Structure 1
């Protein structure tokens, strides 16, 4: 395992050491794009390109969909569930054996610290492991009909599934969609974000190494316009799983509606972390900081709003500001406290929110400016930022910033905190920190969110269903609910006497 900075940083100078993929992954192997075009992937920690990858188009999408349709009809649909499970289990093992290669590729592509990237790879392995065990446990039901009838249901795979993978958690989100789809008996066509193409391609390669038949998982890289749009609009797609912005998700839903294509939409959030007077103070500080500054706040479920009860407001915000100010910045391969945001575009978007907040007279507890890697003077960095008390209608409260920016909302009491927690159009997750068990579960009951963490932000794992309410989307991923997203139910009733 590479641990020394000099050893790690040689990969910045020589990305070929990673054996990065060349081409799309179609029909069991890498293939050059039909138009022969390529794009460059940037290392956000330096703000410089480090590798080329295939720039696909609708013709490449058509090839991938045809390959997946053929594989579904002739091979994967007929593969016994137990054998599907064995292939997914071998994939989990191969992911673990390739942890360092995958993590370094993820770090260079996305900018996140190497420790976070390793955690994502570990989570991807666990996801395949979990769904490997579920393949042969998709059981239907028997209906209580009169004695002269028998009625039962069975789960069937929906068919060819499309997966639009975001740039913030490329391997995690790919695994979160691919693994249950494959477990259910579906085939996959995945489109990684153009900013982070490589781990999706590497994952497809490992699946085939584990024994997945050719064509069952295809990956096409390129832009959203040239690859993503024709993929979700393709008449050969039976289901779309999309993770991304509300605006793009709305466009995807329109495309799905044209063909009456099923979909799961995870569209981001503006998640509140409710901290009450009787919380474990030190634990809450650590969790609130982790909820917003992990991966520089570029997490759909980031705790981007601190809803803090008045009794501890001043002391808590002061301590949190000191903790945020102590976070080190740097290139992900140097194991900093926080890495860069993903691109110059994302950095400028975040800074735009902060500049407008200054114009409105906002008070900054800490941060609020662009920065760079202190060792190189390069990269797309934003300081860990906390903005003091803002009203419910403020832009920083209402809009998803997708950066290391925490907005504080002061609550009079627990009831007021609930009102503030529910004050946005999003409803992905929420956190609650309190020593009162009853109050914690009352808030969990009443907050409008798809998932609630109590006394530990990001608690749980692949076993826990994940998804949002309101404009955070619909449908659920992870857990057995995620498996059902890739199934259709057939009911059968027969007269027997």
Structure 2
């Protein structure tokens, strides 16, 4: 691990006008490296570089299939360097090494998937009668500003960058200040496959400085953001000043409705992956389980067993997939989650297991299960973004749906039952952009992902995401 990492602007590695920031290894609490911090002038240089490349037509004028090959090659570059990237990701973010390796594979898959889609982004002809020929084109917006979260810094960049490049845009990426290092490999990949200088720019900076400058920049044409509701509103407000479209993914308080006929033994696997993967730092985490009152105690017992089965410690020591969990991203994030657990207990919830900071160096929280949670509690309404599962009761189907829909969010929901009619009703009634039936996290890069309500708007993943990066142009030609 080198001690200092620079920003990447217009094809060059550069220092930041705002100085440097310490990157902390959450697995032991020690300083890992320093990273350059961009200021407003750095942001402007990056945007101007991306604008220059866009206006030159070097990206948009490429035959789409050729552009797609470049995008796919970037994914292959990531896989060629998976060992170094995954180790670095674990050290800066805290997740187990095997989870980091999966993230690299997931990032590469976005480039493969969208690169394959490049030649399918087609217009259509519109009949207007004799003497006229009318057709549409899908034109790239231009400069895509992408503000990346810290929980999946590699995969989240990949899903927006790959789609932007596939459709002929250029990009300015603001990395998360806690986990910026692995984004450097996107710059290396862009160089390796021959993208022009300035097509991809990557900088680390504070949200209130670099992020604000980027989201309000007059030469940014489209914005992609994943993060909190509060920050998303600020970005959308800034973008509105320039009439710039956004894709916003703003988190969730996702609920699984578990009916009395559900297979709870099989559901244990959904608990393991749904709330304890990446230490619960997942926007679509299964943070609430709404279970029929007749199965509540059994559900809590099974959840406690899953939580207690996890080996928790430094991610770099956990190379093999299995019953283990790494650190949270920072001690501040860990402390926030622990405080929310304590507040829930003060409001009447029962800490069935966990809930405490672990007495080892690093940002570790015990895998937690809360029982007897009610909809009016803060823990049932606010996103924890940690390894904390809230178990709630329902008496009938209508009450279950009401509880599931009873937050400001609408990102993901789920229903577990052997009754297909009941599952279908729930899938239609749950107010969320994605609903899982009998398997949490079913789907993949091919399936559209995005929120209802304050979970945001626009879609990432799937073919639908491509339409966020193009605008329709109609061309009418008089013949003869």
Fold shared by both chains (TM-score > 0.5) = yes
**Contact between 1:353 and 1:401, CA under 8 Å: does it hold in 2?**
yes
TM-score, normalized by length of structure 2?
0.96
Q: In the alignment, is residue 363 of structure 1 matched against residue 350 of structure 2?
A: yes
For 2:127 and 2:455, how far apart are their aligned partners in 1? 38
Q: What is aligned with 1:351?
A: 338
Structure 2 residue aligned with 1:225, among 187, 208, 218?
208
Structure 2 residue aligned with 1:420, among 397, 403, 426?
403
For 1:148 and 1:396, how far apart are their aligned partners in 2? 65
SS at match of 1:488: strand
- CA deviation string 1:186-211 (max 9, x = no partner): 00000010000011122121121122
Q: In the alignment, is residue 43 of structure 1 matched against residue 25 of structure 2?
A: yes
Cα 1:145–1:446, aligned 2, differ >3 Å: closer, same or farther? farther
Residue 81 of structure 1, CA deviation: 1.3
Q: What is aligned with 1:243?
A: 226
Residue 148 of structure 1, CA deviation: 4.5
Structure-to-structure mapping, 1:31-70, within 5 angstroms:
31-34=14-17, 37-70=19-52
Residue 329 of structure 1, CA deviation: 0.7
SS at match of 1:400: coil
**Contact between 2:4 and 2:34, CA under 8 Å: does it hold in 1?**
no
Residue 178 of structure 1, CA deviation: 0.2
For 2:340 and 2:252, how far apart are their aligned partners in 1? 16
SS at match of 2:218: coil
- Bigger mean CA offset, 271-280 vs 467-476: 271-280
SS at match of 1:145: coil
**Contact between 2:257 and 2:289, CA under 8 Å: does it hold in 1?**
yes
SS at match of 1:341: coil
- CA deviation string 1:73-97 (max 9, x = no partner): 1122222212211111111111111
Q: What is aligned with 2:251?
A: 268
**Contact between 1:163 and 1:241, CA under 8 Å: does it hold in 2?**
yes
Structure-to-structure mapping, 1:394-405, within 5 angstroms:
394-405=377-388
Root mean square deviation, CA, Å: 1.5
Residue 21 of structure 1, CA deviation: 6.8
- Bigger mean CA offset, 99-108 vs 71-80: 71-80
Q: What is aligned with 1:10?
A: none
TM-score, normalized by length of structure 1?
0.93
SS at match of 1:467: coil
For 2:219 and 2:109, how far apart are their aligned partners in 1? 30
Structure-to-structure mapping, 1:90-239, within 5 angstroms:
90-239=73-222
- Bigger mean CA offset, 46-55 vs 429-438: 429-438
Structure 1 residue aligned with 2:292, among 299, 309, 323?
309
**Contact between 2:78 and 2:185, CA under 8 Å: does it hold in 1?**
no
For 1:350 and 1:22, how far apart are their aligned partners in 2? 30
Q: What is aligned with 1:3?
A: none
**Contact between 1:81 and 1:136, CA under 8 Å: does it hold in 2?**
yes
Residue 393 of structure 1, CA deviation: 1.5
Q: What is aligned with 2:54?
A: 72
For 1:183 and 1:328, how far apart are their aligned partners in 2? 41
The size of the alignment, in residue pairs, is 475
Q: What is aligned with 1:4?
A: none
SS at match of 2:401: helix
For 1:280 and 1:408, how far apart are their aligned partners in 2? 16
For 1:311 and 1:393, how far apart are their aligned partners in 2? 21
For 2:265 and 2:427, how far apart are their aligned partners in 1? 22
- Bigger mean CA offset, 351-360 vs 446-455: 351-360
- Bigger mean CA offset, 451-460 vs 21-30: 21-30
**Contact between 2:5 and 2:181, CA under 8 Å: does it hold in 1?**
no
Q: What is aligned with 1:444?
A: 427
Q: What is aligned with 2:328?
A: 341
For 1:80 and 1:31, how far apart are their aligned partners in 2? 32
**Contact between 1:153 and 1:492, CA under 8 Å: does it hold in 2?**
yes
For 2:414 and 2:145, how far apart are their aligned partners in 1? 31
For 2:276 and 2:447, how far apart are their aligned partners in 1? 23
- CA deviation string 1:40-70 (max 9, x = no partner): 1111111121111101101111111111111
Residue 281 of structure 1, CA deviation: 2.0
- CA deviation string 1:252-282 (max 9, x = no partner): 1111011111110000000001111222222
For 1:362 and 1:412, how far apart are their aligned partners in 2? 18
Residue 415 of structure 1, CA deviation: 2.8
Unaligned runs of 5+ in 1: 1-14
SS at match of 1:299: coil
Residue 322 of structure 1, CA deviation: 1.4
